[in-house]
Structure 1
Amino acid sequence: MNKLTLRARLWILALVPVLGVIGTSVFSMYSANSVYSDLLERIHKEAFVAQSLVINGDRDLYQALVAKQALLAGGPGPDFEKNLKDFRENVVQVKDRLNRAEQILSAHRSGWSDFRLEGKPESIFDEFTALKADFPRWETASEKQIEDVRTGKTAPGASGEIEDALFKTVRGNINDIGEILDLGAEDSAADNRSRMDRTNMTVFAVVLAVALAALVLAFTTIRAIRRAVDRILSASEAGREGNLTVRTSLDGSDELAAVGGALDGMLDSLRKVVTDIQQKSAALSALSETTAASCEEVTSTTNEVAESNSRLAEEVNRGRTGAGEASKMVREMNSIILSAKELASSADQNSRQMAAAAARGKETVAQSIGHMENIRNAVGETEKLITDLNNYSARIGVVGTTITSLADQTNLLALNAAIEAARAGEAGRGFAVVAEEVRKLAEQSQQGAREVAELVGKILEGTESAVKSMETSRKGVEEGVSIAHVAGEALEKIMDATKSSVEDIRRIIAATDKEAEQSGRVIALIEDTASVMGNADEQVQNVAASMEETAAAMESVATGATEVSATAEDLRKITERFIVDGTPPRGLALR
């Protein structure tokens, strides 16, 4: 396989699926023919079984007719029950066979429904439906006809036109079913055979078209791949010989185009590298000459740097001393800031306590206002009750006055009655006793009314004093409520002022925190500066030593520059064999 060419491998790769498609198609045609044979056999078997059932049903129907005719002709006799049993058994067999035939055909109802006799629109299932309607009618009419002969209503040997017409209709339905079965079996076989032939032709045409399309596609693809491979191979050989201007120039988005693009990119990159090397070698040669001249300048500059280092060392010492003093001053300032922060924290705590006390005072005042409001309401209600009591007492005084007046009149009437009784003598003695008792009661009532009047007067005086006292209390309570509201508003302002103070103090604390942080950073920065100054002093000394080493190194650089110039010349000679701009070098022709 490894010895085959790429073209041969591609043709093998293309022919394998084509042969597979052809083989699969042949197998499919063979399988389809087998399925057709099985289907044809099943159709014939199904039609044969149904036809046998229909024929046997027709035979049973005829036997039932023979038994019926024997019953009607012989009348009641020794064979009547036997003939009746034969009639009924044949009727049951007719129903059973025709039902089984219909069930077999119903398994493929859609297929058998399409077959119809010439000149008749009914399908085979329509015939079964008509048979199910007509056969019970014939059976019922025949049973009635037999029963009439048994009971003597009809003379033996009589015939029925209706029953005969129904029998002919049933026989006609059965015959139509048999003919449709024959027609369906033949038409199904012919139709399936025609379908199978069309399927085989279609499969053959599709396989042929697929095979031709696959071969054309394979030929086109192989030719395109061959051309792409030839271009890639030509560009690779040209690049190997040093021609970096050749390109594959492959179009498309397949893998070979990607390989060609990658090869073109590699040749572009290689051309740029060679061009860059050529340019760098020329620049390196010029640079080596410049380096040799610069070495002398560096040597003189090194001496000047050494003198500058001495002056820099003195400045560094003075800077380190100043940094120490600055660090000391900043530390003192930092301690002052921390003290201010502590005082601000204490003020913040006191302000918070004051705010809490003001809040509690506000809450207490609010509660006091609520209680005083309740007292004011209670005083108002009490004042109303006392006023009502005063009114009731006044009414009681009026009633007492009325009672006193009535007692006086009663006393006067009792006196008049006593006088009249005295005039009557012995006859009026009893009445005189009663009049005396009435007079005594009137005097007692008068005395009670006077006492009630005195009590009512005292109550009126007390209620008037209570009303005045309640009014004074109400005014005092209202003034207390007003004062409590004023106190609440004052506490509200105190709380607002306290909150503002707390916020200001928190801002002061935050500011002192930032100042302390900044002062800490300044201290660290000054200490770092002092450390840097110390390091700078050491570095200055190291630079002084390095200057001496640099002077010695410049001599080595001058020697190295001469060697680099020679190397650049060798590199230029090596890169001359590559073509980078379309012009072949000496001794190399462009292919």
Structure 2
Amino acid sequence: MLAVFKKTAPVPANDSRVDEMPGAPAIDARALVQSLQKEASGLGREAAEVRGVIDDTIRISSRQTEAVGSLAQQLQGIQRSQAAIGSFSEQSLRSVGQARQAVEEVGREVGAIVDTLREVANAAQQITQIAIQTRLVAFNASVEAKRAGEAGRGFGVVADAVKDLAAKVEASSKEIMSTVGTLDSRIDALSREIRTDESAGRQGAFHKALTAVETDVHHITEAACESRGVSDAMSGHMSLIDRESRQATEALQNAMVRSEAFLKVSEHLMEVIAACGIETEDSAFIKAAQQGAAELSQLLDGALREGKISMADLFDENYRAIEGTNPQQHMTRFAELTDRLFPPVQERLLGMSSKTFYCAAVDRNGYLPTHNRKYSHAQRRGDPVWNAANCRNRRIFNDRTALASARNHKPFLLQTYRRDMGGGKFVLMKEIAAPITVGGRHWGGLRFAIAF
């Protein structure tokens, strides 16, 4: 717990010892404050580190939750496909049954065709017999006509013609019988392929093929049912994982809120110590940030008085995205003016110490128009990681630390945080922010970061 003390008379600059009460041992106030400052700084560093780790874990947990949700959706799609496979399998079995019935019908028709062909063969055989008899009668008639001499000549011609015709009929009938015999053997073989002789335990080739199809379809159905059971079990596990992931994310967010409060306490403690009037390791940087913010305020006031920019343009919030930038950069109506006015002040403060990390002004929404030169390179196409670390001008930073600095109205604000350098690299630092005002209006703040 922090003790709150009422403000007393300032400690003389040449006296670092204060008597708490008559007769009490003297206390080295400066040493005490400096010790407290170091302890508060270390506390802030640890709090910022814990907060950063929690923040990283929340992002990882959120990505895992999204991945689980996506996997659950894909699993639902698999289950729908498995149900469709089962439906199609049942339909295939019905189709095979219909095909089997159709094959049986064809078999019966083929049997009827065989019977018909045999009737045709019998008829052709009878025609052959008749032709043979007719030829024999015609032969006898021809012999009798020759015996009759001149009187039987005409009848002999007719008898010879009948004999020739009978011979042709006989040949045709025999050819029909031969063709019918060939067809009969072929159709009979086809009938055997189609028909099933249950008494002999024999299946035709068509039925064997259909049986094989039925067996395969049954295997598909069984595999689909088994797979559906596995998918249902997986779905249950996925639901459990999803619930636990969401609970973990919620717990982490609660931890983030608590760590935020912890961090604010440490930052407030550092501010109180810095404002007590005794020099600490942060005092020089706080003064520099305040002086730099005052200089930038004067420069913007001067530009406003000289008509170099209007109040409306200076407070422009129409952040126009710069096409093709990644991370996204923006342009405003005051960015060109800050490019001319801000660098001398910002670069001078940046070179103040080897501990300084950056010094840049942002408007009240976290928009950073003009950064330090080393962070203001032209973006590389297709290299967002490098751009994130080296092209930080024209960017909008609306995270907790950035917005707190941008909207701070106190003489100074001291924060601790992890800065994302891109590519998974982070740097722990302290940031001092001082407000920038123009024409009595709060324009933004100067962000002055120093390394621990």
Is the pair's TM-score, using the shorter chain for normalization, greater than 0.5? no
TM-score norm. by structure 2 comes to 0.40
Larger relative helix fraction:
1
Larger relative strand fraction:
2
Higher CA-based Rg? 1
TM-score norm. by structure 1 comes to 0.31
Q: Relative contact order, CA 8 A, sep 6+: which one is greater? A: 1
